[in-house]
């Protein structure tokens, strides 16, 4: 299998950059301001990989929470401030990502602008020697496979020639629906016990607890 792999596809948030914890705490703080108190661990386990508008739809159903008109604008402003102040790469990912010789692209539910801004902040943007693919370019975001099909088509590669690194069940489901070998990654700060099972249940072929385990998996697959 390793000799066939020609390209790596990385999710961005929670896989390369430790942004999910910032986004999550911004959401929880703003929900609290608007009268809805949620536990951080429960939130992390309940909504991994979902878009913010999807989370708000679920909160409307489950808690009868009506977000005020300015909620999304306020949330994005809080996240931008948080990213500027404290965004970091996932521990160990800076050297791993920079030193990989195999071409790599990003595949994210976030916007291209968001991915570029995150990677630039942690000084990894220049290490992306492929493309940045975003759900904004396709009809349906992850967990639908559309953005991964776009990546395969653009790169002119077969599914067997690609391996994916994802941190959420949503992302793993998207990659597996596109027929891609997928590594579930547990290195982000927002993840809690039991997340590995969720990734395996979603179809992950391998589990990497941190960047060192990810490097060992890459090595076992012949990826340098």
> Going from the N-terminus, what domains does the chain have, and what CATH number goes with each?
2-18+88-220 (3.40.50.1000), 20-86 (1.10.150.240)
CB neighbour burial string for 147-182, b if at least 16 within 10 angstroms, e if fewer: bbbbbbeebebeeeebbbbbbbbbbbbbbbbbebbb
Cβ-contact 121, 83 below 8 angstroms: yes
Query: For residue 52, what are its two tokens?
Result: 């913010």
Going residue by residue through the chain, which has 224 residues, state the pLDDT in tens, using 9 for 90 and above: 445 899 999 999 999 999 988 989 999 999 999 999 999 888 887 887 778 889 999 999 999 999 999 999 999 999 999 989 999 999 999 999 999 999 999 999 999 999 999 999 999 999 999 999 999 999 999 999 999 999 999 999 999 999 999 999 999 999 999 999 999 999 987 887 789 999 999 999 999 999 999 999 999 999 98
Half-sphere exposure for 182 (CA within 13 Å, toward CB): 30
Rounded to whole angstroms, how far apart are CA atoms 176 and 144?
Answer: 10
By CB neighbour count within 10 A (0-12 exposed, 13-18 middle, 19+ buried), where does 195 fall?
buried
Cα-based distances in Å from 109 to 34, 113, 136: 26, 11, 7
Rounded to whole angstroms, how far apart are CA atoms 14 and 170?
Answer: 12
Residue 2's pLDDT is 42
pTM: 0.86
Cα-based distances in Å from 110 to 1, 164, 172, 221: 30, 16, 16, 28
Cα Rg for the chain, rounded, in angstroms?
Answer: 17
| Number of neighbouring beta carbons within 10 Å of residue 193 | 9
Residue 44's pLDDT is 82
By CB neighbour count within 10 A (0-12 exposed, 13-18 middle, 19+ buried), where does 119 fall?
buried
Residue 1's pLDDT is 43
């Amino acid at each position: 299998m390793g000799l066939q792999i020609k390209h790596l596809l990385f999710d961005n948030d929670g896989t390369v950059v430790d942004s999910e914890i910032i986004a999550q705490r911004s959401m929880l703080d703003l929900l609290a301001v608007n009268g809805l108190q949620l536990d951080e661990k429960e939130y992390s386990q309940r909504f991994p990989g979902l878009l913010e508008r999807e989370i708000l739809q679920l909160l409307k159903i489950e808690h009868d929470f009506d977000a005020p008109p300015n909620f999304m604008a306020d949330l994005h402003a809080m996240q931008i401030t948080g990213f500027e102040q404290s965004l970091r790469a996932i521990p160990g990912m800076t050297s791993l990502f920079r030193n990989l010789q195999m071409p790599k692209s990003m595949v994210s539910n976030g916007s291209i602008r968001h991915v570029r801004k995150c990677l630039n902040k942690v000084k990894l943007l220049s290490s992306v020697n492929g493309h940045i693919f975003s759900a904004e370019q396709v009809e349906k975001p992850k967990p639908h496979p559309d953005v991964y099909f776009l990546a395969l088509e653009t790169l002119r590669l077969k599914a067997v020639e690609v391996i994916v690194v994802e941190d959420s069940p949503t992302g793993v489901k998207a990659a597996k629906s596109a027929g891609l070998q997928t590594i579930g990654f547990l290195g982000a700060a927002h993840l809690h016990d039991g997340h590995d099972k969720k990734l395996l249940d979603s179809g992950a072929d391998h589990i990497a607890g941190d960047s060192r385990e990810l490097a060992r998996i890459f090595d076992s697959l012949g990826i340098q």
